[in-house]
Amino acid sequence: MAKGIREIKRQIKSIQNTRQITKAMEMVASAKLRKAQEKAQASRPYADKLKEVVSSIAAGTQGITHPMLVSRPVKRTAYIVITSDGGLVGGYNTNILRKVTDLIKERHSFPTEYGLFVVGRKGRDFFKRRNYPVVEEVTELSDTPKFSDIKSLTYAAVRGFENEEYDEIYVCYNRFVNAITQLPTVDRLLPFETMGTEGPASSYEYEPSPEGVLEVLLPKYAETLIFTDLLDGKASELGAKMTAMGSATKNATKMINELTLTYNRARQAAITQEITEIVAGANAAQG
């Protein structure tokens, strides 16, 4: 019985140590989440304004064309998949990877029909283990990534569309709703669908020309959208980590309470047994 009590006590101590770690990780993720959420929200107005300008030029200028605005027969598709580098994030990676693989199985019969641009070690390892065609990868991003961190990947994807290596591009990421909810999302990046304009159209003069402005703006806009989705994905990752560590902390507390109750019962039973043995021994001595 003494051995069993010692084992329960060691188990309680071990879970208490684990709970301290998960609680600390939850607090760190919570602090980082606020910064990541602010950064993601701050990037949206810039992307929205770029889209407004691009749509205004495309809709307000007769006969204007650009490869990024033209839909063509789809022979090859690019998928930009945003995952995390580390684990302990609940279903964050599993959900988006399942959505991407289901989409690929539904739309493609051969690996030559698509290419993957992967952000995050978890996604990279997942696809490479299964022999998916990973064209380019970016790993080891910080919790506050900069555009320069993914510049080469975004450039390769966007230029691949311009050079007709890909006929459409999708961005696959977890859209941040709140700390508890992250929605696996697949958005078509290219070709662009311009917004309709409401009310009277404004008249602008562009230098050197509307076509020249679009030539510069459209690639930058595409790269900006990818970076904005990355920031949204990073906020989702931290939210998922905070939730997962919070759940782990609660589960550890529940296990400690149950083991403590078991420990107290075992200790009480051991004391009762010792008292019974002492009393029995005393009675035998008197007899």
Q: Within a domain: residue 276?
A: no
Q: Within a domain: residue 80?
A: yes
Question: Helices (DSSP H) in 61-120: which residue ranges?
Answer: 92-107
Q: Within a domain: residue 8?
A: no
Max CA-CA distance within the chain?
A: 116
Q: Residues near 155 by Cβ (< 8 Å), separated by ≥ 6?
A: 223
Residue 185: pLDDT over 60:
yes
Q: What pTM was computed for the model?
A: 0.85
* pLDDT mean over 94-102: 96
Q: Within a domain: residue 182?
A: yes
Total domains in the chain come to 1
The more confident residue out of 269 and 20 is 20
- Domain limits at 86? 26-194+206-243
Q: Within a domain: residue 270?
A: no
Q: Residues near 124 by Cβ (< 8 Å), separated by ≥ 6?
A: 83, 118, 134, 137, 139
Q: Within a domain: residue 154?
A: yes
**pLDDT, tens digit, 9 for 90 and up, residues 228-272:** 999 999 999 999 999 999 999 999 999 999 999 998 988 888 788
Rounded Cα–Cα distance for residues 223 and 94 (Å): 25
Rounded Cα–Cα distance for residues 269 and 277 (Å): 12
The chain-wide mean pLDDT, for the chain, equals: 87
Nearest in space to 165 (alpha carbons), one of 75, 271, 284? 75
CA-CA distances (angstroms) from residue 230 to 71, 138, 185, 237, 270? 25, 12, 12, 10, 58
Strand, coil or helix: what is 169?
strand
Q: Within a domain: residue 269?
A: no
Q: What share of the chain is helix, strand, coil (3-state, %, to 5)?
A: 65, 10, 25
CA-CA distances (angstroms) from residue 142 to 32, 146, 172, 255, 287? 11, 9, 19, 34, 79
Q: What is the CATH number of the domain that holds 65?
A: 3.40.1380.10
Q: What is the pLDDT of residue 60?
A: 60
Q: Within a domain: residue 178?
A: yes
Cα dihedral 55→59→61→65 (10° resolution): 80
Question: Helices (DSSP H) in 61-139: which residue ranges?
Answer: 92-107, 121-129
Q: What is the pLDDT of residue 257?
A: 94
Residue 22: pLDDT over 70:
yes
* pLDDT mean over 57-61: 67
Nearest in space to 131 (alpha carbons), one of 173, 93, 101, 161? 101
